[in-house]
Amino acid sequence: MIIDCHGHYTTAPPALATWRDRQIAGLTDPSATPAHADLNISDDELRETIEPNQLRLMDERGIDLTVFSPRASFMAHHIGDFQTSSTWAAICNELCHRISQLYPERFAPAAMLPQ
């Protein structure tokens, strides 16, 4: 078995970045702060981002399993406070978990921690 021990979800649906932009805007205008429930990404959208990207590359390279974590450049722990980072980490971690549920034999979720 070949395991890629360091994979990131670099192809997450655009809705994730849009939610994050709203979260950051909420730091100066609390009325703009989105709720966790405002992010709606379907399983089909997740498949559309994974199959032609990470999964295709894994197959081309003979990788059986990837330890899969949120996109590193999205972490941005310096933005906001602990609550901001905690909410953002939970949302990103949840998406990686959902990918691992859709493809349990191909992805093992790893988490980012709020700092």
Tally of domains within the chain: 1
- Model confidence, pTM: 0.93
Q: Which domain holds residue 44?
A: 3-29+39-109
Q: Is residue 47 part of a domain?
A: yes
Percent helix / strand / coil, the chain, rounded to 5: 55, 15, 35
Average pLDDT, the chain: 95
Q: Is residue 115 part of a domain?
A: no
pLDDT digits (tens, 9 = 90+) for 35-74: 999 999 999 999 999 999 999 999 999 999 999 999 988 8
Classify residue 34 as exposed, middle or buried by CB count within 10 Å of its CB (0-12, 13-18, 19+): middle
Q: Is residue 34 part of a domain?
A: no
Q: Is residue 7 part of a domain?
A: yes
pLDDT digits (tens, 9 = 90+) for 83-106: 999 999 999 999 999 999 999 999
